[in-house]
Amino acid sequence: MELIPSQKQRVWKLPAVVNFTMGGIGTGFYLLALLVNLPANGEWLQAFLAGQPDWFTLAFVAGVFKLLGVGCAGIGFIALTTEAGQPQRGINLFRHLRRSWMSRETLAFFLFTAFAGLDWLFPFPLLRALAAAAALFLMVAQGFILYRARGVITWNTPRVIFYFLTCGFMTGAGLMLVVFNALQVFIPLSSAFSFAAIGFAAALFNLALWFIYLQSNDAAFPKATQALRTQKAMLQIVGVGHILPALLLILAMALGPGPLLTPVIEILAGMLLLFGGARQKYGIVLEAGYLRAVVLSPAKFDALRRRARGA
Amino acid sequence: MSRWGMVIDLRKCVGCQTCTIACKQTNNTPPKVFWRWVADIETGEYPDVNRRFVPMGCQHCTNPPCFEVCPTTATYKRPDGIVDINYNLCIGCAYCIVACPYLARNIVFETKSYYETGLIPPEQVLAHPDRIGVATKCNFCLPRVDAGLARGLKPGVDPDATPMCVGSCISNAMHFGDLDDPDSIVSRYIAENDTVRLSEELGTESAMYYIVE
């Protein structure tokens, strides 16, 4: 017996979307930035102390690839302060690390910031590894935050955790395509990996996870995710946010690194990947954020009713 | 140690909302915030239809999803089973609100009056600034229960130690008591009737039992 029908949650709004989106972009970007060969291995401080004139350029490039991800995730946290009722008590967020994924997310962000910041100042593989582990944990924690919200049908599914991982890497690849190609205009950069190929693979993986996410045996799930299945939403998420950038990246890979057109195509594809990920998270949090109906267990209720009538 | 719980006999509830008002008056909840409320539900299909009234509120779960997600430990579970909120720790992130499957939690961001003229003197006296920007919910009238126990009263038996919604119920549909005491009124109701709990499949093990038929 349904007592209270399912209704949309109204407490987590746009700042929550910004947090989840920027968190995914920032962590995904940082993890992919580990694949960039930084000029002078990112050791700008030595150049500065030695009085070399290019120290600022080195510091800037290292800063982009080591701190931009932190900055993105930080924007997400700042956005949340506009939504919380008593943000000045934020230090209390660390009090429930044993069980709350929001506490763990906060800790992961601070560790990510600290290790990435230290690695920018004093490049060291261990610091980079710790920052990468914190970034990955932050990405996972954000998925778990939604998963543990047992009141919301469309969040309380383990599929959302895996989706957050693929989306994080996809949007991180999107930002990487934009930044890497834009910086190439001023500074020659290299990587042993093709970010176009990574972006293409991430888009396909994320699209697959998206369709897996939309499948559920829970009868209430399709209704709650109806807004994500409309023609308009499909066009935006699947078409503009995944298929189109994937096709553009195939074109970029076919053209090769030579022509000027390639970076322009890659930047456009990157921006579309960012749009695709942000649109998905907007949809999950705001459009499909339906609270569970409150029910008296149907089977038990029917049994009681039959028994009462028999008596 | 006691484990407080409630039994609500839906066969007796007439939907008068006296419990709703008693709760509002006792706890001074602001406009549009209800710690206790009565859902008015139509069940079945014509011609076999039925109208039911189901008092709702915090279920004081044994496995509370709100407690698990709370990043600040503001939401805590007392040894006697009552799930309460420490307003001084809460940051108002509203995570508990989306985690609660019973729509039991609220948050308001400013003090509001029931009147267009602004807060009238009684409202100013009864305002709770500590409840602004934090999560709030039913606490089984914890101050009444604790004060009653301190005076040697028995919650669920003595009205002064019993939640106001239970004490005010005009049809004697609501009962409060110790679930661990086999002689308490709630244990006897549970033993003598078929009871159900809301959204049992979620495994929250709520402390609110409903007698349906």
pLDDT tens for A82-112 read 999 999 999 999 999 999 999 999 999 999 9
Give the A:B interface size as CB pairs under 8 Å.
151
Domain containing A107 equals 2-310
Confidence check: pLDDT of A309 > 70: no
A290 touches chain B (CB under 8 A): no
If contacts are CB pairs under 8 Å, which of residues 63-122 in chain A contact chain B? 80, 83-87, 89-90, 92-96, 99-103, 106
| Whole-prediction pTM | 0.94
pLDDT at B85: 98
Confidence check: pLDDT of A301 > 70: no
Sorting pLDDT into bands at 50, 70 and 90, what band is A219? confident
Helix (H) or strand (E) holding A258: none
Our count of domains for chain A comes to 1
List chain A residues with CB under 8 Å of B200. Answer: 297, 300
CB B99 within 8 A of CB A92: no
Domain B4-211: give its CATH architecture. Answer: 2-Layer Sandwich (3.30)
d(CA B91, CA B87): 8
Sorting pLDDT into bands at 50, 70 and 90, what band is A255? very high
Who's near A193: CB < 8 A, 6+ residues apart?
A35
Residue A295 phi, psi (nearest 5)? -130, 150
pLDDT at A308: 62
CB A173 within 8 A of CB A202: yes
Q: What is the CATH number of the domain that holds A171?
A: 1.20.1630.10
Amino acid at B57: G
Average pLDDT, chain A: 94
List chain B residues with CB under 8 Å of A77. Answer: none
d(CA A242, CA A205): 10
Cβ–Cβ contacts within 10 Å for residue A122, how many? 12
Torsion of CA B144, B147, B152, B157, to 10 degrees: 0
Residues of chain B with pLDDT under 70: none
* Mean pLDDT, residues A62-84 taken together: 97
Burial of A183 (0-12, 13-18, 19+ CB in 10 A): middle
pLDDT at A307: 66
A6 touches chain B (CB under 8 A): no
Cβ–Cβ contacts within 10 Å for residue B114, how many? 12
List chain B residues with CB under 8 Å of A7. Answer: 103
The angle subtended at Cα A139 by Cα B65 and Cα A293, nearest 5°, is 30
pLDDT tens for A225-245 read 999 999 999 999 999 999 999
CB B15 within 8 A of CB B189: no
The angle subtended at Cα A279 by Cα A278 and Cα A282, nearest 5°, is 85
Helix (H) or strand (E) holding B52: strand B48-57
Domain range annotation of chain B: 4-211
